[in-house]
Each structure stands twice: as C-alpha cells, then as structure tokens.
C-alpha cells in the first residue's frame, strides 16, 4: 500500500498533523496502537486549550479524531512494529505493522510518552487489580477505600487531592525524598484535606492475592521496612518517551530519550519528522497540535511538494 506520509500516533500532534498534511496535498495515513487520543484523552478536564474554558480530555480527543477522520485514513489498533529506510537516497520507507506493510516517502513520529513504572514485584501482576497509573480513570472504583499515590510532583499531589475529593476513605502520598517537588499551594491543599504524606519512603513490593492488599515500604534513611494496608495504589512518577521506532531508524535522542528536532520538526534522518510529547519541551495539548502542524507542512519537502510558508 502506497502513501506519501505515515503518521505514527493518533494523539493531538498526530491528529493535527493529519489535518494539515492532507490539506497540503499529501496522501497520508495514520497509525495508532490503541484507540487514539494519547495521554490527553485521560485528562479529567483541560482548561487551557483556546476555545474551551473547560472540556474533558476524552471529549476533546474525540472532537480531534472526528475532525482528522474527515481528511484521512486512521488505522486504530494497528501497531507499527518496524520502519525501514529503503535506501540512503531518500526513496522512502517501508512501514511494517501487525497487519500489513506500507510504502511511504516520509514518516512523522507522534508516538508520545507512557507512564513510568516502579518496576517492583507485584506491579505487573496486579495492574488492573488495584494498581493504576491514572487516578481520574480508576479512582471511582475506590470510593470509601484506602489508597496510596506514589510520587511527589504536581501530578501526584493533584491525584491524591482528587482521590480524597471523590470519597476515598484514606489517601496516602508516598515520596522518596524529605520534601515534595509539587508547588507549595498543592501541598497546602493536600494537608488541609488530611492526606497522609509519607516522606523518605520507597515501595519495595506491592502485595496481594488477586488484588492489591498492602505495600511494603522502605525508609530511605534508616532502611526500616513497614507494611501499609491499602486497597489500591496509583503510580504517578512521570512519563517515558515512546522511542523504540526512533531508535531503530537511527534518530538522534537527547539524554532523556526524547527525539531531537529542529524548529520545523526535522530529525537527523532525512524524511523522518517528529512532533508532540516525544520531542520533550512543553508537553501541552496546544503545543502538540502546533508542532504536528509544523512538522506536517515541513514534510512536504520529502514528498516532492511545496507549501507556501
């Protein structure tokens, strides 16, 4: 199957790129290994996207999906397994998915990030059985129960506050350092809501038979180990870039694994562009959309077309 541009990832950057690419006359196809929307789709409310004073992330993602779908083919649940450069003369790429192979002239990586894991015993086994990475997605199931949030940044503290607001019986915030990294205002609000903050603690093991029952904590200063009984644990320790395809293509990454691009979305590999959270920077919906549009228009150079900048 032949296309001019393959966009990998159907989040805000990917949707925006698809709209701008097709409007610039580029025959485009979009792939997403899931249902699209990226991490924006699981945000409870987005209040800083122009035109919407407040809108649920899923609703905004759905509007973007409907808009982009009017322009091009979007293959959901079709994960891209490999991308091969045909040759060094810029003749394009072969995109191999779990279903098929596609010939394209350019590739735009909008693969975003995923939640960082603790990588402790019990985490993988109990994911979906009390282990969650999204309080706004799963918090409802823990009303009236005891939960823990792992992390000390803004997201972790906000999630802890949210869980308390929706009616969790007890909310514990576990942080490995002696002070939170979150803004002071969030910490004050957390304390006002009687959230229990455990400083200098790390999770060594998530325990339970079929579901989360407790956490084994270790004091980072004394080494003392204690057990904390909880019904659920929400892990909020940041995100990691989805850069496997970039690595295979030889795309340059920064020290944290994010794709390095110029101001127009070009990578160091001819014909490969990137936009959105995978390129680091200000990880916001509005910037992802802008970067997707810029990179899509820049890709016209790889498909033999011109765009009037």
Number of domains comprising the chain? 2
CATH code for the domain of 213: 3.50.50.60
Same-domain status, 137 and 229: yes
Domain end among 185, 217, 235: 235
Q: What angle do CA 258, 262, 268 make, to 5 degrees?
A: 70
φ, ψ dihedrals at 33, nearest 5° = -75, -10
Kindly tell me if the per-residue pLDDT of 306 is higher than 90. Answer: no
Would residue 138 show up in a list of annotated catalytic residues for this protein? yes
Model pLDDT for residues 6-23, shown as the tens digit of each residue: 999 999 999 999 999 999
Three-state SS annotation for 52-111: CCCECHHHHHHHHHHHHHCCCEEEECCCEEEEEECCCCCCCEEEEECCCEEEECEEEECC
pLDDT mean over 196-219: 97
245 and 153 housed in the same domain: no
Q: How high is the pLDDT of residue 57?
A: 86
CA 175 to chain centre: 22
- Answer yes or no: is 188 within a domain: yes
Are 107 and 245 in a shared domain?
yes
Same domain? For 164 and 193 the reply is yes
Average pLDDT across the chain, whole number: 93
C-beta separation of 123 from 147 below 8 A: no
**DSSP secondary structure letter of residue 158:** H
Indicate whether 128 belongs to any domain. Answer: yes
Q: Which of 235, 261, 283 is the last residue of a domain?
A: 235
In a domain, 29, yes or no: yes
Given strand 101-104, what is the order of strands in its sheet? 80-85, 93-97, 101-104
Shared domain for 10 and 144, answered yes or no, is no
The answer to whether 77 touches 35, Cβ cutoff 8 Å, is yes
- Answer yes or no: do 9 and 70 share one domain: yes
Q: Are residues 178 and 210 in the same domain?
A: yes
Same domain? 205 vs 190 = yes
Asked whether residue 22 is assigned to any structural domain, the reply reads yes
- Residue 194, φ and ψ in degrees, nearest 5: 65, 30
Known catalytic membership, residue 289: no
Is 134 one of the annotated active-site residues of the chain? yes
Containing domain of residue 140, as a range? 123-235
Per-residue pLDDT of 249-290, as tens digits, reads 999 999 999 999 999 999 999 999 999 999 988 878 999 999
Q: Please indicate, yes or no, if residue 189 is contained in any of the structural domains.
A: yes
Q: What is the pLDDT of residue 308?
A: 62
Kindly name the residue from 32, 110, 138, 289 that is annotated as catalytic.
Answer: 138
């Amino acid at each position: 199957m032949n296309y001019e541009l393959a966009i990998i990832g159907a989040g805000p950057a990917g949707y925006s790129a698809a709209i701008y690419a097709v409007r610039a006359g580029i025959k485009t196809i979009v792939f997403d290994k899931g249902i699209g929307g990226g991490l924006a789709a699981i945000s409870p409310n987005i209040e800083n996207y122009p035109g919407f004073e407040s809108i649920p992330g899923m609703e905004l993602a759905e509007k973007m999906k409907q808009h982009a779908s009017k322009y091009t083919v979007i293959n959901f649940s079709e994960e891209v397994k490999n991308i091969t450069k045909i040759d060094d003369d810029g003749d394009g790429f072969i995109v191999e998915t779990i279903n098929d192979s596609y010939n394209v002239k350019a590739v735009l990586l909008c693969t975003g990030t995923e939640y960082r894991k603790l990588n402790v015993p019990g985490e993988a086994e109990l994911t979906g059985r009390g282990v969650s990475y999204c309080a706004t997605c799963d918090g409802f199931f823990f009303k009236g129960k005891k939960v823990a949030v792992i992390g000390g940044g803004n997201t972790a503290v906000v999630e802890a506050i949210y869980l308390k607001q929706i009616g969790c019986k007890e909310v514990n915030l576990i942080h490995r350092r002696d002070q939170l990294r979150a803004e002071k205002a969030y910490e004050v609000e957390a304390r006002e809501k009687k959230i229990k903050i455990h400083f200098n603690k790390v999770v060594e093991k998530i325990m339970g038979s079929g579901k989360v029952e407790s956490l084994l904590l270790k004091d980072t200063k004394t080494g003392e180990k204690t057990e904390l009984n909880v019904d659920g644990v929400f892990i909020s320790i940041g995100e990691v870039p989805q850069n496997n395809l970039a690595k295979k293509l030889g795309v340059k990454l920064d020290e944290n694994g994010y794709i390095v691009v110029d101001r127009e979305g070009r990578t160091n590999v001819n014909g490969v562009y990137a936009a959105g959270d995978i390129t680091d920077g200000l990880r916001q919906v509005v910037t992802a959309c802008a970067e997707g549009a810029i990179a899509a228009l820049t890709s016209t150079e790889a498909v033999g077309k011109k765009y009037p900048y």
